[in-house]
Structure 1
Amino acid sequence: MSELLNAEKTSTVNKEQSVWVKLGLDNPVFWMSGGFLTLFVVIALVDNKLLSSLVNAGFSWSVSFFGPYWQLLLLATFLIGLALAFSPGTGKVRLGAMDKPEMEGFKWLAIILCTLLAGGGVFWAAAEPIAHFVNPPPLYGVPEGNIQRQAFNALAQSFMHWGFLAWAILGTLTTIVLMHLHYDKGLPLKPRTLLYPVFGERAMTGMFGALIDACCIIAVAAGTIGPIGFLGLQISYALNALFALPDGFTTQFIIILCAIAIYTISALSGVNRGIQILSRYNVILAVGLMAYILLVGPTDFIINGYLQGVGTMVDNFIPMATFRGDMSWLSWWTVFFWGWFLGYGPMMAIFIARISRGRTIRQLVTTISIIAPLITCFWFTIVGGSGLAFEMAEPGSVSKAFEGFNLPASLLAITQQLPFPMLISILFLILTTVFIVTTGDSMTYTISVVISGDLNPNGLMRTFWGVMMGATAIILISLGSGGVSALQSFIVITAVPVSLILLPSLWNGPKIALQMAKEQGLD
């Protein structure tokens, strides 16, 4: 009898240990990252004003002291990546210990576009061009008597923020470093691996390595929770405008619950199923909407705006990338975006490393640093450029809706001026939802990979992080939009340690690429 009781006790202990391990509760990274995010939510619940003041102070400090460094870091990452891609030797280096790509080209590009562009690519595509049109960027000012030039400048500034530099920091040099150290050297696919060439084993073990991973998880979790929360706020606003549904917490709660369910189920199905299927169909929907607006919208202005906007950006590329003339404007535009994208850097690099086996450095860099940004710029021209054309034809038709930085209102002001406005508005809302769901899906997967150290993390861990991020978003929006706004500003603060983690890739990326070129007989 005693032996049976002992066996039952042992079985119960083993089950408890199994759940403990499956959730990553034995990993200090879990407690550091989860504990910090919990503390953020607790302060928000107890004293939201205190949280806002702390975050605003941290935000101002971050953009003042790290803004110039971030500008140079993004510019250097882009230029060095291009040099490696178009070098005869390093460009042909094949990554991931495979002779040919593991994933078919369209699927690969679709996942990259949907994951990295996210929901910002819909609402910001509508809002940012009109914002720069109404209040021209200080580098350009207001062209005398040339309203069309003012519109082209507005597009060019939007292209800078969502174009070459933004994309390059999310997965070029860092991906090269991670893919070599993981697939060729057997090191784990974790942020700490980026610092292995600098600190050796010290970066891979102990509290130092755990702290590196935790900083990156906090940054990307904040960067994902924010858009999930804003999805609830923005879709709720749009449903109220279109169908007179109540624009309140209940509607927002239901929207986020649906998003949690979709991206958690998708994450459980794995990279080769859920994420891939969502990305493929969302890209098809985006292409369909682009073609429709190009045909029935202000076609001439869209074509001219894209060519002129890209041309203006390229002509003024270095001045725009290094502009320091207006600190107030910079902190709420360029440096804000750079901090937001930097926070995603290490975790996006891990995700891209996971889906890019068999790609060459040239394929990786040109796709992420050139092709994807040019597609993004065209998307911004289709959506935001249409808004500019409508605004010039009828002043106030878009800008009035945008007043108060109302991103969803600016999108609806554009879609309502197209043929079949209701249908197009609904399709845009679906597109936005799936974009954000895809990001939640991929980041849930990536966080689980980092904590578990397994490329196929268990379903319990994926479910936990998916639900946790969604639940955090629900708690924050229950406090009003200020809770999510505080989190959005907090994202920039988290970019400070993350940007230091990314720095060594500027020299380790080229060093590893040259080494691999020799090993593969390409030098």
Structure 2
Amino acid sequence: MSDLLNSEKTVPQAQSTIEKLGLNNPVLWMSGGFLTAFVVLALVDNELLSSLVNAGFAWSVKIFGPYWQLLLLITFLVGMGLAISPTTSKVRLGGLEKPELDGFKWLAIILCTLLAGGGVFWAAAEPIAHFVNPPPLYGTPEGNIQRQAFNALSQSFMHWGFLAWAILGTLTTIVLMHLHYDKGLPLKPRTLLYPVFGDRVLTGFFGSFIDACCIVAVAAGTIGPIGFLGLQVSYALNALFDLPDGFTTQFIIILGAIAIYTISALSGVNRGIQILSRYNIILAVGLMIYILLVGPTDFIINGYVQGVGTMIDNFIPMATFRGDMGWLSWWTVFFWGWFLGYGPMMAIFIARISRGRTIRQLVTTISIIAPLITCFWFSIVGGSGLAFEMANPGSVSAAFEGFNLPASLLAITQQLPFPMIVSILFLILTTIFIVTTGDSMTYTISVVISGETEPNALIRSFWGVMMGATAIILISLGAGGVSALQSFIVITAVPVSLILLPALWNAPQIAMKMATAQGLR
């Protein structure tokens, strides 16, 4: 009898655990099952996985590349139209009269979460890559090496600037914030298609499939940088301190990252994520000021001004360039696919932190202010590298050879005063940037799985540890395992980009309805 009573007592607890982990949610099984199959195939036959991913990658960029370029361009233009319209610009989102977060905290979270994870190493590597091999749209200006350097910065600005930021959280955020906060619909990717399919998309296999696609895309895009963090920091520690550059070092680095971003995600948006973001922005600003003062100041300022001017002057030609498919597949279209994969989940995260903001504040901050800050960061880091390279040919390009991103960053920091301290600070900055991406995506995936804006600790911990463990397994196979996952996010951008499409017309319609409801028309 006592055994029967004990068994009855354990049933509710078992059900509670199942619900807490989302084990009764088909989205978990679809997304988790797919990621598990990916890892198993990597362990069983890494060559087969790489060939499948490469074939899917080539097909995706060839068939969907033109569509992605137009989608990002039109998203940016429509968003700016809403931001400057006298009718829609003052629409306040999220059902609050004033913002939950103050301006600095809000901007810090946005800057540290959206494109920051890849921005530190790419800021050093991409400008030198375009300098050594000029983009086909610009070519090599005869006898004008400085113009070649400015063009390299301009191309980097395009890839990490207005269009890249706009797709991550402008129109889609407007749609989600209205449907969630005003209409009570779930804060999930499937909600983006509610205006098209109605209630059918909120339940059943179709809605679950949409959510699972978006989770797989953002998990792949987050696991990749976590894995590369281990590889890159391990390389840097070997170069700086002669520590072994092997799996053990990489394993310890990723374990540390898992612990930090899981604890941060557990403490919530208003504590851990916000605190990490704020201090990381302070560190980044400090490094920018230092390099601006002691580095090649004139070139940095001139490169930023002329680079931004050249990008704006060639904005449409750069956004719609289709003249070199090989180059596009490894640069513009690759980046667009990578950023598109983050789109719906980033929109959910931005919707969560942006209550009380107006459409003008949302769009101009994400589409204009944040990109211009990112471009300045590229000018500081990459611009310094270009100046050093022009003064001493090979000082940066030789280190970058073979697309060695951490080596190019170290080649720059080693030419600044107090190179050891600056290099260590950059490693800390990179780590925290990727950690803030990890904690925000852990939080957002947990929101989608649980259906709650404050998911329980169990599910947050599960996803945080799971993504880190996947990264560890993949790097145990060598850089190829993480590279395959990084390329795979471009394939996942195919369905995700179709999910983002309706926001082009739904966001303006919703903005006009909200303007009417708020007495602005």
TM-score interval, normalised by the smaller of the two chains: over 0.9
CA RMSD of aligned residues (A): 0.5
Q: Tell me how far 1:15 sits from its aligned partner.
A: 1.4
SS at match of 1:119: helix
- Structure 2: distance between partners of 1:7 and 1:201: 42
Which residue in the other structure is 2:234 paired with? 236
The corresponding residue for 1:197 is: 195
Distance 1:327 1:486 in 2: 21
Q: Which letter does structure 2 place at the counterpart of 1:315?
A: D
> Which residue is equivalent to 2:280?
282
Cα distance in 1 for partners of 2:419, 2:112 equals 24
Counterpart code for 1:322: T
Q: Which residue of 2 aligns with 1:127?
A: 125
In structure 1, the residue matched to 2:486 is 488
Give the 5 Å matches for 1:245-256: 245-256=243-254
Matched residue type, 1:482: G
Where does residue 444 of structure 2 map in the other structure? 446
Shift of 1:117: 2.2
Query: Which whole-Å CA distance do the structure 2 matches of 1:272 and 1:119 have between them?
Result: 20
Query: SS of the counterpart of 2:89?
Result: helix
Give the letter for the 2:219 counterpart.
A
Aligned counterpart, 2:207: 209
Specify the alignment match of 2:415 in structure 1.
417
In the alignment, does 2:89 pair up with 1:91?
A: yes
In structure 1, the partner of 2:104 is: 106
Residue 5 (structure 2) aligns with? 7
Q: Is the contact made by 1:117 and 1:435 (CA closer than 8 Å) also made in structure 2?
A: no
State whether structure 2 residue 512 is matched by structure 1 residue 517: no
2:142 maps to what in 1? 144
2:353 to 352, 355, 360: 355
Distance in 1, matches of 2:210 and 2:195, equals 14
Structure 1: any 5+ residue segments left out of the alignment? none
Decide which of 465, 468, 471 is 1:467's aligned counterpart: 465
CA deviation after TM superposition for structure 1 residue 118, in Å: 2.5
Residue type of the alignment partner of 1:498: V
Out of 161, 168, 180, the residue aligned to residue 182 of structure 1 is: 180
Deviation at 1:5, TM superposition (A): 3.1
* Matches of 1:375 and 1:6, distance apart in 2: 64
Distance (Å, rounded) in 2 between the aligned partners of 1:8 and 1:361:
55
Amino acid in structure 2 at the alignment position of 1:18? S
Q: Where in structure 1 do 4 or more consecutive aligned residues deviate above 6 Å? A: none
Q: Percent identity?
A: 86
Contact 1:115 1:442 in 2 (8 A): yes
Partners of 1:517 and 1:491 in 2: CA distance:
37
Q: Which residue of 2 aligns with 1:159?
A: 157
Amino acid at match of 1:380: F
1:495-517 CA-to-partner distances (Å, cap 9, x unmatched) read: 00000000000000000000000
* Aligned-residue offset at 1:13: 1.4
Tell me the equivalent position of 2:53: 55
Question: In 1, distance between residues paired with 2:84 and 2:467?
Answer: 40
**Structure 1 position 300 matched with structure 2 position 298:** yes
Give the distance between the partners of 1:457 and 1:222, measured in 2 at CA. 21
Question: Letter of the aligned partner of 1:181 in structure 2?
Answer: L
What does residue 393 of structure 2 align with?
A: 395
Distance of 1:118 and 1:490 partners within structure 2: 20
Q: Report the counterpart of residue 334 of structure 1 in structure 2.
A: 332
How far apart, in 2, do the equivalents of 1:512 and 1:38 lie?
Answer: 38
Displacement of 1:386 = 0.2
Cα-to-partner distance string for 1:35-68 (whole Å, 9 max, x where unaligned): 0000000000000000000000000000000000
Query: 2:506: which partner in 1?
Result: 508
Aligned partner letter, 1:160:
M
Alpha-carbon distance between aligned partners in 2 of 1:8 and 1:507, rounded to the nearest angstrom? 57
Query: What corresponds to 2:342 in structure 1?
Result: 344
Amino acid at match of 2:72: L
| Aligned twin of 1:266 | 264
Q: CA deviation at 1:6?
A: 2.9
CA–CA distance in 1 between the matches of 2:423 and 2:320? 37
SS of the aligned residue for 1:417 comes to coil
- Equivalent position amino acid for 1:81 in 2: G
Q: Secondary structure at the match of 1:487?
A: helix
Number of corresponding residues: 521
Aligned to 1:45: 43
Task: Indicate the SS of the match to 2:95.
Answer: coil
CA contact (8 A) 1:23 1:461 kept: yes
The CA distance in 1 between the partners of 2:173 and 2:279, in whole Å, is: 26
- Measure, in 1, the Cα distance between the counterparts of 2:69 and 2:164: 10
- Residue identity in the other structure for 1:408: P
Cα distance in 2 between the residues matched to 1:339 and 1:465: 23
**Could you tell me how far 1:7 is from its partner in structure 2?**
2.6
Distance 2:257 2:455 in 1: 21
Q: State the TM-score, normalizing by the size of structure 1.
A: 0.99
The Cα of 1:396 is off from its aligned counterpart by: 0.3
3-state DSSP of counterpart to 2:114 = helix
| 1:10 Cα deviation from its structure 2 partner | 1.4
Structure 1 distance, partners of 2:208, 2:9, is 31
What is the deviation of 1:11?
1.5
Q: Are 1:142 and 1:150, in contact at CA under 8 Å, matched by a contact in 2?
A: yes
Offset of residue 307 of structure 1: 0.2
Distance in 2, matches of 1:233 and 1:216, equals 26
Q: Aligned AA for 1:182? A: H
